[in-house]
Amino acid sequence: QILAFSRQEKSEQVRMKIQPIVKEALKLIRFTIPATIFIRQQISPNCGPVMADPVQIHQILMNLATNAFHAMEKDGGTLTVGLETCRVDTPARINPALSPGNYACLTVTDTGKGMDQKTLEKIFDPFFTTKRKGKGTGMGLSVVHSIVTAMNGAVQVHSQPGWGTEFRVYLPIMKTGSDNDPGTSRQSPLTGGNERILLVDDKEPVAAMETQILSRMGYKVTAFTDSTDALAAFKDDPDRFDLVITDVAMPNMSGDKLAEALKRVRPDIPILLCTGYCEWMTPETVRKLGVSGLLTKPMLTRDLDRTLRSILGSDSRQ
């Protein structure tokens, strides 16, 4: 969360409709929160495109949903996620930084314990949390605010004790053929490929999101959340995969140990390590491991695309 908070300038925004990202995130949320919390979704198919990084849209929703879950953790309740187009004619009522116009409005509402005014004034402060020790970092809402602000949007909060909380995220909708669409005309399309990738990440939501990104780029992905299971699958058929992408910090077997084990089975297998922050993972360490590269999380789609094609070659396997 801290790394994401400090890396907003590196986001890759593209013109996109965010409905598919919201729906995919909701599937992951359903798997990660208990059945005592009912999820209601009200997603308008007609909400227009925004300039956004899909990974960051996913992060916004996951952080807001996690916050809602903690508010309802004890007694359960209803989590409502909505997306619609709304017209903002008087920005001062929401946020003076907004401009009049049409916005994609993403709402996340819970029926939890709510917050008083004193708490509301601090919720976007880094490291502020009302959760007990070990239950949260206090970075989630700060990250949401940072991402949305960088997108020229705004976050509005309504809450009161015993009533629940509603977050409304406003993201400016792009005009059709707009000249102020930064990067759309300059961005070259992703190269992608059709190679077979073994993906390993112990965090299921991250593995699912990265699988989705790679699949949309054309790759055939087999994902594991347990590094020992991934190694067993690789040993069963070493030629089944063209490349391995693995997280570094994992239980049972870390990514660097997994890379060494994979290389013992098939020395020529290309391996790409991914890490959020790892002080000892230097370029020299990467060279000694014999892996093909190192990417820093959160992975940017275009960086991932360039790295994969530089490792696998400019032409996809036929």
- pLDDT-based confidence at residue 297 (cuts at 50, 70, 90): low
Residues 267-282: tens digit of each pLDDT: 999 999 987 544 456 6
130 pLDDT above the threshold of 80? no
Q: What is the pLDDT of residue 183?
A: 39
Residue ranges and CATH numbers for the domains of the chain are 2-172 (3.30.565.10), 196-312 (3.40.50.2300)
Residues 3-28: tens digit of each pLDDT: 444 344 455 778 889 999 899 889 88
Residues 156-193: tens digit of each pLDDT: 899 989 889 999 999 999 976 544 443 333 445 678 89
Over residues 136-145, the mean pLDDT reads: 65
Q: What is the pLDDT of residue 37?
A: 94
Averaged pLDDT of the chain: 82
Q: What is the pLDDT of residue 303?
A: 75
DSSP track, the chain: -HHHHH-GGG---EEE--HHHHHHHHHHHHHHS-TTEEEEEEE-TT---EEE-HHHHHHHHHHHHHHHHHHHTTT-EEEEEEEEEEEES-GGGT-TT--SEEEEEEEEEE-S----HHHHTTTTSTT---SPTTS--S-HHHHHHHHHHHTT-EEEEEEETTTEEEEEEEEEBPPTT-TT-TTTTTPPPP-----EEEEE-SSHHHHHHHHHHHHHTT-EEEEES-HHHHHHHHHH-GGG-SEEEEESS-SSS-HHHHHHHHHHH-TT--EEEEES--TT--HHHHHHHT-SEEEESSPPHHHHHHHHHHHH-SS---
Q: Is the pTM of this model over 0.85?
A: no
- pLDDT-based confidence at residue 295 (cuts at 50, 70, 90): confident
